[in-house]
Structure 1
Amino acid sequence: MKTLQRGHFNGHICGLKLDRLIGLMIFALFGYSMIILSMKLTGFAIPIEIKSIAMKQLRQEDYVAISVDNHPLMELAINGHIGTGNEQVVAFERNKSIEMKNEQINGIIDGINKSHKQHLQQQNMSITSGEIPAWLMNSSPVRIKIPPLRTTYAKAFADFNTTSSVTMDPSTSFYRIINPKPIYSLCDVLEIQIMALDKNKMYKTTGGDYLFAKIHSNDILASANPEDGVIDHNNGSYTARFKLRWTGRISISVFLIYSSEVISALRRVRDYYPARGAFDGIFWKDGIKKVSPCHVTPLFYVKSLENTSYIAEFCNYTDPLTGAPWFCAKPASFTCSSYRYTAASTNMRDKDTFETLFSPLEKNLLRKSTKMQEVNSRRVSSIHVKSESSITISRCMKNTLLDKSVTDHIGTTGFYFKDTWISLNRPTLVPSQRNITQCLKDKTVNLLGDSTIRQWFKFLIQTIEPKYAISKQILQTARFSMDHWDNRHNISINYHHHAFPIVTMYTSTNDLHYVANMIDSLPADGVHTVYFLSVGAHFTITDMKFFRGRLRAIKRSIVRLHERSPDTMVVVRSANTRKDEGQYNNWYHDQLNSLLFEEFVGLNNVVVIDVWSMTLSHYSGWNIHPVNVVVRNELAVALSYICPDLVLTEHV
């Protein structure tokens, strides 16, 4: 046997041939030079510190992790299939500072994501049947190695370069009436100006604060939102305009919901953590239960993977018709077809878990924003509107600020008077037992979505048949799929909850169906079929792109519905206001509503009921499940589109 003498070697270093090692080094230097050159050519950019993995060779099931500090992507860990066979991957030298534009980083991310997507598509999917819905398909588990993660903060994020001293402070900020009058008349326009100041009573010079204003007369249960919302002038000042539609003493209230700095933080977390928290998937096998994390992506389980590295298998339950993704980590010795129940993880409900995604300064600002904070008035906080003969209310339709082309497709632009919503679009149906029964006679009503549309289901049934009571036990045991049949009037009312994601207690996967698939599968009979839809409340734990994808799947199913049944009316209900609970906050909901309007307004035989406006100013406050009087008013507007012939013709 030939032996090596001291000072000699056989062409190998650490298991690598010398010529191969030299090739790798040349490749690394060339790649590094090209990147630096491209950065110089692209000009100034945000400084990014990349701490790399060592130069190495990757096998088929290995991973690549690029660690990025001081960037809104925080710690970037991209996992995926690199290729078959040995491939050379060159990483930057540890702690080497470079300059890289967001576009370049996004290009890297897109490239790696594309590679990962191709890998998933290359997996051999073996579809088998099980005791789960047909769409909840079993597949060969996706095998992913997840690298250790380390939480950092996005200190270089352009929109979050702030200190608490410049944040809007409601105790020093104020509003005032522009050109006040001693007495106002019906249909006058009341305009107020809101000035944002910080805690040091210095005027802010930038906008972006999330404000809410309303006028109200609590003695007659009347209230209204600004005609065109709170207008941001991007200089620290805001205006709100109100058309005065009832007489008497009217109070003004202005609230700070979130400062611009909090909005910046919420936006960052939403966009760079598109799958926050976790859901529990309950697997059953031979009487044995195993709980495993689930979400809309296999790369969701960030918090629990910190400082660990392991190989996980994921069951891919992506819906084959809508493309809606859903993944669960596969428990050892369990098959993917043993997935039986789903529930929101207790970790996801914990506000402290959500707060870990924010910097210390952001956390402090968030904690101050847990409740609406009222902005002080400058001198006057109420006005008086005089009575004109016997007229005490007016829609002021001749001078309305509304765009008719838009309001034809959006119900609920209006105001409250004596606890009744006065629509500015059209007169509404009085939601009495007689009117609702007559409107829905010989109809099938399909209510699809979340628990807020289930409130409509419950109200309709108990109005048509007041003696019929839906017990709490029924709501607990059958809360995701309920049907009611009124044989006397030939009315069928059906409620089904949408599928993943769903923030709830344990429920069977058999009870969950995607809204688009239900619209495609349920029969439609022209005007004798009605759809009421509601999605949004469970989607604040995802990002805008994901929610838009879900909406577009529903939109396509509505188009197919109208191809086979053109006269079937579809009413889409927006999300409503709620008490802020971490990631279930009103700004996230408001943003989702904006997408909902974009996708559905203007579709033939589709009406969007903006219940956000109806819950915004009501005296009962902001609740995810509004009080019964609000539900009654919501349905009054919806049914006025279903049965316009039954609507009262008198105008105010």
Structure 2
Amino acid sequence: MELRIEGIREKLDQLFPPRPFTHVTSTTSATHSTATILSPKDTYCKGDQLDVLLEVRDHLGRRKPYGGDFLRARMSSPALQAGASGKVSDLNNGTYLVSFTLFWEGQVSLSLLLIHPSEGVSALWRARNQGYDKVNFTGYFARGSSWVPSKCGLTLHVNAELCKYLDHRDREAFYCVRPPHVPCEALTHMTTRNANISYLTKEEWSLFQRVNMGVEIMKNFSSIKVLPCNKSKNIETKCQLGMKTPFPSGYTMEKRWIAAFCKQIELNEPKNINNCLKRKLIYLMGDSTLRQWIFYFQKVVKTLKHFDLHGAGAFETHMLLDAERHTLIQWKKHSHPIVTQTRYSVKVDNYIPREIDRIAGDRDTVIVITIGQHFRPFPINLFARRAINIQRAIERLFLRSPETKVILKSENTRDMAQNAEIFSDFHGYIQNLIIRDIFMDLNVGIIDAWDMTIAYDTNNIHPPDHVIRNQINMFLNYIC
């Protein structure tokens, strides 16, 4: 395990080498960089690939000799409510190949954003791995009818007696300073606050002001015209678990998500959803972006009734039941770290691998997993360890119940106005790379929420309902 985590870390260190900088003028400038369409045509055919060559320059107009910039490519047709991600390939010499698949016909606009220059990426990567103390955890211990607060964390460097909450098998740990005369078992609740700590220099921080993030590079591009050309091939293979998902994995059209690698059926009608969910036991494990699913199901499928598990608050376990159809849907948070100012209970907390170990599994059992957003403020080893532990738990599950269905929902993009050192999408991008790498050979389904939220251009940690609806439609296609 430790060797594997080390290997992941080394790979990423090579991908994001140190790029020290002294002044903003030597960093990548969106204004001075140039994008050129390769082999331009007057009109394009639906299904064609359109390639753009990007040459990055600094603020003095000098060509940059290295890559590593964090870019986001998107194509769209606002009139059609259509959008798709573009694929960015770093040629590691200051040039990038940006490829767009022309999924639909009509007038198409291209966009390329410089989210962070390579110097900013390098600074974020260094700062991320420097410490666990960017978030303060406060634990609350029950004493009679009151609570005693105490300092907690993923690591604690204090001269005090500690309560150690350890999972020896999976090598996961969480600690609290033990309050006087209170047993460690009395820990019931937790809150967090962002700490006033930064590992970035003042100069580096200038790169993460909102005006310097997500700057458009391709300003003067006129839209391109795409014709049908009778070239379209219909995809015949039905969406199923174990399929390799390309990037981009699909596109949006009139708010509908259309997969590019498999044939989808529209299952949005309550009757169709009901038929699909009959006799299913569905366990949603992860963060609040997956909790959105359970709220959506409750809104759309009127026969699913909320079951009161005697917990109050957003991060409590949620359960929906349809006794007549023998359907159960449950959402449970992924345990430490949960980063929120809302006080939440840790009484029945369990890491996802332990939750998976408790599920018998069969062909009507489905597990959906999302981890990511709450891990962004912490060194990458924490995320890699959790992902590997989840992979091992899924392998154990498949040994006892190979017909159980497992689906991973990748994390989505979020608003750029947040503190970039701890919440930048760059951290989410790295975590998505790790997930793809670790789960590559498992017979699981992937719902690429990252790709979807770029295509929809939502930039909200909790995407709107039409995005959730399309994630769930993809999910139903996998399980029915």
User: Which bracket does the TM-score occupy, shorter chain normalised?
Assistant: 0.7 to 0.9
Matches of 1:422 and 1:288, distance apart in 2? 53
Find 1:357's aligned residue among 195, 199, 211. Answer: 199
Matching residue of 2:111: 253
Find 1:623's aligned residue among 460, 467, 480. Answer: 460
Matching residue of 1:194: 54
CA RMSD of aligned residues (A): 2.8
Matching residue of 2:125: 267
Q: Are residues 1:589 and 2:425 paired?
A: no
Give me the TM-score of the superposition, normalised by structure 2. Answer: 0.88
Give me the TM-score of the superposition, normalised by structure 1. Answer: 0.65
Matching residue of 1:314: 162
Q: Deviations over 1:96-148 (max 9, x none)?
A: xxxxxxxxxx9xxxxxxxxxxxxxxxxxxxxxxxxxxxxxxxxxxxxxxxxxx
Unaligned 5+ runs, structure 2: 1-5, 7-16
Greater share of residues in strand: 2
Q: Which amino acid aligns with 1:598?
A: D
Is the 8 Å Cα contact of residues 188 and 345 (structure 2) preserved in structure 1? yes
Matching residue of 1:509: 346
Is the 8 Å Cα contact of residues 485 and 492 (structure 1) preserved in structure 2? yes
Q: Are residues 1:373 and 2:373 paired?
A: no
**Structure 1 residue 529 displacement after superposition:** 0.8
Find 1:335's aligned residue among 169, 176, 183. Answer: 183
Q: Which amino acid aligns with 2:199?
A: L
Quick one: structure 1 residues 405 and 198, their matched pair in 2 at CA, closer, same or farther if it must change by over 3 Å? farther
Q: Which amino acid aligns with 1:591?
A: I
Matching residue of 2:20: 160
Q: Deviations over 1:395-452 (max 9, x none)?
A: 6769xxxxx9984367981111222111122122313212211111111111111111
Is the 8 Å Cα contact of residues 312 and 329 (structure 1) preserved in structure 2? yes
Q: Are residues 1:386 and 2:227 paired?
A: yes
Matching residue of 2:383: 547
**Structure 1 residue 519 displacement after superposition:** 1.1
Find 2:441's aligned residue among 592, 602, 615. Answer: 602
Matching residue of 1:69: none
SS for the counterpart of 2:462 is coil
**Structure 1 residue 386 displacement after superposition:** 2.3
Matches of 1:409 and 1:184, distance apart in 2? 25
Quick one: structure 1 residues 406 and 289, their matched pair in 2 at CA, closer, same or farther if it must change by over 3 Å? closer
SS for the counterpart of 1:173 is strand
Q: Deviations over 1:367-418 (max 9, x none)?
A: 25664211144x5331011244xx6x946769xxxxx998436798111122
Find 1:414's aligned residue among 228, 240, 250. Answer: 250
Is the 8 Å Cα contact of residues 341 and 508 (structure 1) preserved in structure 2? yes
Matches of 2:109 and 2:307, distance apart in 1? 39
Quick one: structure 1 residues 167 and 243, their matched pair in 2 at CA, closer, same or farther if it must change by over 3 Å? same
**Structure 1 residue 463 displacement after superposition:** 2.2
Is the 8 Å Cα contact of residues 577 and 616 (structure 1) preserved in structure 2? yes
Matching residue of 2:318: 482
SS for the counterpart of 2:384 is helix
Q: Which amino acid aligns with 1:614?
A: M
Q: Percent identity?
A: 29
Q: Which has the larger radius of gyration?
A: 1
Q: Which amino acid aligns with 2:41?
A: K
Matching residue of 2:359: 522
Is the 8 Å Cα contact of residues 411 and 609 (structure 1) preserved in structure 2? no
**Structure 1 residue 289 displacement after superposition:** 3.1
Quick one: structure 1 residues 207 and 578, their matched pair in 2 at CA, closer, same or farther if it must change by over 3 Å? same
Matches of 1:575 and 1:369, distance apart in 2? 25
Matches of 2:75 and 2:273, distance apart in 1? 31
**Structure 1 residue 477 displacement after superposition:** 2.6
Matches of 1:202 and 1:182, distance apart in 2? 32
**Structure 1 residue 465 displacement after superposition:** 1.3
Quick one: structure 1 residues 311 and 274, their matched pair in 2 at CA, closer, same or farther if it must change by over 3 Å? closer
Between the two proteins, the alignment pairs up a number of residues equal to 456
Is the 8 Å Cα contact of residues 412 and 637 (structure 1) preserved in structure 2? no
Aligned 1:213-224 pairs, distance under 5 A: 213-224=73-84
SS for the counterpart of 1:530 is strand
Q: Which amino acid aligns with 2:202?
A: P
SS for the counterpart of 1:316 is strand
Find 2:35's aligned residue among 175, 180, 187. Answer: 175
Q: Are residues 1:499 and 2:335 paired?
A: yes
**Structure 1 residue 290 displacement after superposition:** 2.8
Is the 8 Å Cα contact of residues 496 and 513 (structure 1) preserved in structure 2? no
Find 2:293's aligned residue among 421, 433, 456. Answer: 456
Matching residue of 2:478: 641
Is the 8 Å Cα contact of residues 480 and 512 (structure 1) preserved in structure 2? no
- Comparing 331-340 and 621-630, the one that deviates more: 331-340
Is the 8 Å Cα contact of residues 298 and 327 (structure 1) preserved in structure 2? yes
